[in-house]
Amino acid sequence: MQPKMPGLVEFVALVALLSSLMALAIDAMLPALPVIGADLGVSNPNSPQLIISTVFFGMLVGQVLFGPISDSVGRKPLIYWGLGLFMVGSLVSMFAHSFEMMLFGRILQGIGVAAPRVVTMALVRDCYSGREMAKIMSFTMIVFIMVPAIAPSLGLGILWIADWRMIFGAFILLSAPMLIWFWLRMPETWPPEKRRPFAWHEQWEATKIVCGNRLVMGYSLVTGLVFAAFLGYLNSVQQILQEQYGLGDQFPLYFAALALAIGGASIVNAKLVMKLGMRLLSARALQVVSALSAVFLVIVLLQSGQPPLWLFMGYCLLAFFSVGLLFGNLNALAMEPIGDYAGIGASIIGVVSTAVAIPIGVLIGQSYNKTVIPIVLGFLILTVLALFLQRWTERQRSKSLELVRPAA
């Protein structure tokens, strides 16, 4: 027997927690990276960054697996599989006695959290529309913004009372009740009569059509370049703030301020995009980050790679506010021409942007040399490339504006 649809508050809480699981799995680990590296005998001080990057690699694999079948098997099975795999990955990492086993567990976690990432938006679309849908997404965004801000404090708090393995125990203690809650309270929102049988040839044909559209692929690559710059920062931020600047246990507070800058931009974007439009706002944000990074890079070089903390934080706050404007708009611009191929299109955009971001972001992180030069240089080069790629993409707008399913 299917449970009844939960009330609005409960629905928002459940969807928000599911969609925030990935941010929690990444950001709560940041304070523990040097401790894990030392405990597992890692000699290269930059190698623990891979504990962050491998989650994104797992998510890439998960999007390939879960995205195409989301409309074929229903919403609830994907959540069960995803959360179950996330808990298995948490157990593997929790009991890891080698760095390689730790990374394997993190990949499993990444594959697992891809399922809630794919399904939560579909859940909202299944149940609500129009202003109600917008209101729910706004409430969900508030929770999504707060999780990265508080997650490092959660990780640090656990390290004060236990060792790093209990952070993975906390992931299990959070996700297991979430799975039971979802099972007991959320009905299946995609009934069998609406499901389409999964067919590889249809998926392949749809993939070729979507990938052949310059707007879709162009903005997917632009998204990937911006994401790569941010991933380079995420890989290095613990070493920069906690070690290079000697913030120690104050690191979560500074990280929270930067996370809130991105979240705040997402809220401001709702008003700005109505006045300026997605394309102009994205171009202006890219121009701000590239110009700001060019100026700041000169200052950084003059200060031997370590500017004063207040200056570095000021640069990051302004740059990340612009990045916050970019993420939603670039994804929407990539989705704009997709039409009837929204399901497979969203999966392809996620896969392409993540596949671009991971190797570049890892390269930036592994280039960390006890200065902020690699991440500032990364933001400069990648946003300049993104600007040129956006202009190239827009030249073919009239030819690529809409993808529609061909007539039978």
- The answer for residues whose C-beta is within 8 angstroms of residue 28's C-beta and 6 or more apart is 151, 152, 154, 155, 158, 167, 170, 171
User: Are residue 273 and residue 133 in the same domain, yes or no?
Assistant: no
**Predicted pLDDT of residue 269:** 81
The rounded distance, in Å, linking the Cα atoms of 265 and 259 is 10
Residue 225: is its pLDDT beyond 70? yes
User: Are residue 167 and residue 204 in the same domain, yes or no?
Assistant: no
Residue 406: is its pLDDT beyond 50? no
Number of separate helices (H) and strands (E) present in the chain? 15, 0
Would residue 140 count as lying in a domain? yes
Task: Name the residue type at position 326.
Answer: L
Does 98 or 136 have the greater pLDDT score? 98
Torsion over CA: 112, 118, 120, 126 (sign) = negative
Domain count for the chain, please give it.
2
Q: Residue 50 region, left (φ>0) first, then alpha (ψ -120 to 50), else beta?
A: alpha
The rounded distance, in Å, linking the Cα atoms of 234 and 228 is 10
Per-residue pLDDT of 35-65, as tens digits, reads 999 999 999 999 999 999 999 999 999 988 8
User: Are residue 179 and residue 208 in the same domain, yes or no?
Assistant: no
pLDDT grade for 400, boundaries at 50, 70 and 90:
low
Would residue 407 count as lying in a domain? no
Domain-terminating residue out of 186, 219, 244: 186
The H or E element that residue 58 is part of is: helix 50-66
Least confident of 114-118, 382-386, 388-392: 114-118
**Predicted pLDDT of residue 165:** 96
Q: Is the pTM of this model over 0.85?
A: yes
- Asked whether the beta carbons of 14 and 186 are under 8 A apart, the reply is yes
Would residue 195 count as lying in a domain? no
pLDDT grade for 138, boundaries at 50, 70 and 90:
low
Task: Name the residue type at position 337.
Answer: P
CATH number (domain holding residue 55) = 1.20.1250.20
Would residue 28 count as lying in a domain? yes
**Predicted pLDDT of residue 345:** 74
User: Are residue 239 and residue 154 in the same domain, yes or no?
Assistant: no
Residue-number span of the structural domain to which 213 is assigned: 200-396
Residue 404: is its pLDDT beyond 50? no
Would residue 291 count as lying in a domain? yes
The DSSP string of 153-167 is HHHHHHHHHS-THHH
The rounded distance, in Å, linking the Cα atoms of 203 and 26 is 31
Would residue 1 count as lying in a domain? no
User: Are residue 54 and residue 143 in the same domain, yes or no?
Assistant: yes
Place of tokens 């994104």: 56
pLDDT grade for 408, boundaries at 50, 70 and 90:
very low
User: Are residue 105 and residue 210 in the same domain, yes or no?
Assistant: no
The rounded distance, in Å, linking the Cα atoms of 407 and 400 is 18
Averaged over 160-176, what is the pLDDT?
A: 95
- What would the two tokens of residue 351 be? 């896969």
**Predicted pLDDT of residue 343:** 63
User: Are residue 170 and residue 147 in the same domain, yes or no?
Assistant: yes
Would residue 360 count as lying in a domain? yes
- Asked whether the beta carbons of 241 and 254 are under 8 A apart, the reply is yes
The rounded distance, in Å, linking the Cα atoms of 22 and 58 is 11
Q: Give start and end residues of each alpha helix (H) in 162-213.
A: 165-185, 200-211
Per-residue pLDDT of 310-356, as tens digits, reads 999 999 999 999 998 888 788 778 877 766 566 677 778 888 999 99
The rounded distance, in Å, linking the Cα atoms of 66 and 69 is 6
- What would the two tokens of residue 387 be? 């600007």
pLDDT > 70 in the chain, percent:
92
Least confident of 125-129, 183-187, 321-325: 125-129
User: Are residue 159 and residue 254 in the same domain, yes or no?
Assistant: no
User: Are residue 281 and residue 179 in the same domain, yes or no?
Assistant: no
Domain-terminating residue out of 186, 219, 254: 186
Residue 152: is its pLDDT beyond 60? yes
Task: Name the residue type at position 408.
Answer: A
Would residue 103 count as lying in a domain? yes
